[in-house]
């Protein structure tokens, strides 16, 4: 069973930057595609970004494209989300997830990102 732990959230002013990290346990990390999701209060969980097991392929939601960058370091069992030009609407709890087949199966506990206007 894969365990995921997010970190790096916090309070930032609009236009600022944050880098989120997702530390994974288990040697299967390098074989798992990964993703970032977010959920604001009273809203559905929203897809943010996806990265293939090798890191060669990435995919972003239109709302964050050109502002966010997903990456991974398989040697460190860690995935990252670099967030630039943050907007108040980016405020949410951010979750990392690991994919089994085409289904996100394992989830972290989330880290809060708050962007003030």
What's residue 84's pLDDT?
Answer: 98
| Burial environment of residue 69 by CB neighbours within 10 A (0 to 12, 13 to 18, 19 or more) | middle
110/57 Cα distance (integer angstroms)? 24
What does the pLDDT look like over 6-18, one tens digit per residue?
Answer: 999 999 999 999 9
The CA distances from residue 76 to 21, 35, 66, in Å, are: 11, 17, 25
What is the distance between the alpha carbons of residues 4 and 33, in angstroms, rounded to a whole number? Answer: 13
Cross-strand pairs, 46: 38
pLDDT at residue 30, as a whole number: 77
Burial string for 37-50 (b: 16+ CB within 10 Å, else e) reads bbeeeeeeeebbbb
Model confidence over 11-63: pLDDT tens digits? 999 999 999 999 998 767 778 999 999 999 999 999 999 999 999 999 999 99
Q: Are 85 and 21 in contact (CB under 8 A)?
A: no
State the DSSP code for 89.
G
Residue 109, pLDDT above cutoff 90? yes
Q: What is the mean pLDDT of residues 66-91?
A: 96
Q: How many other CB atoms sit within 10 Å of the CB of residue 111?
A: 22
């Amino acid at each position: 069973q894969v365990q995921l732990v997010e970190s790096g959230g916090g309070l930032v002013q609009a236009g600022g930057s944050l880098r989120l990290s997702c530390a994974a346990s288990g040697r299967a990390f390098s074989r798992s595609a990964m993703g970032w999701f977010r959920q604001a209060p009273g809203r559905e969980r929203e897809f943010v970004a996806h990265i293939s097991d090798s890191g060669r392929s990435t995919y972003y939601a239109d709302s964050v494209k050109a502002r966010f960058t997903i990456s991974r370091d398989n040697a460190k069992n860690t995935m990252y989300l670099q967030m630039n030009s943050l907007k108040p609407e980016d405020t949410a709890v951010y979750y990392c997830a690991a994919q089994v087949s085409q289904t996100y199966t394992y989830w972290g506990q989330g880290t809060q990102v708050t962007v003030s206007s």
